[in-house]
Amino acid sequence: MAFLIDMRVAELLASRLCHDLVGPIGAVNNGMELLEDEDLGMSDDAIQLSASSARQAANILQFYRLAYGMSGERIGGGLDDLRELATGFLASSKTTLDWTMAGQPAGELPEGLGKLLLNVIVLGEECLPRGGTLGVSLAEGPAGLEIAVTANGTGARLREESQFVLADDVVIDELTPRNVHGYFTRLLAQRMGSDLIIDSPGADRLRLSVTLAG
Q: What is the pLDDT of residues 142-200, one digit of tens each?
A: 999 999 999 999 999 999 888 889 988 888 888 999 999 999 999 999 999 999 999 99
Structure confidence at residue 48 as a pLDDT band (50, 70, 90): confident
What's residue 56's pLDDT?
Answer: 94
What is the spatial distance between Cα 12 and Cα 24, in angstroms, rounded to a whole number? 20
Nearest CA-CA partner of 197 in 161, 155, 158: 158
Nearest CA-CA partner of 99 in 157, 139, 154: 139
Structure confidence at residue 39 as a pLDDT band (50, 70, 90): low
Write down how long the chain is: 214
What's residue 209's pLDDT?
Answer: 97
Nearest CA-CA partner of 138 in 107, 108, 99: 99
What is the pairing mode between strands 205-212 and 197-202?
antiparallel
Burial of 197 (0-12, 13-18, 19+ CB in 10 A): middle
26 within 8 A of 52, measured Cβ to Cβ: no
Entry pTM: 0.90
Domain borders along the chain are 7-212
Question: Does the domain made of 7-212 have the CATH classification 3.30.565.10?
Answer: yes
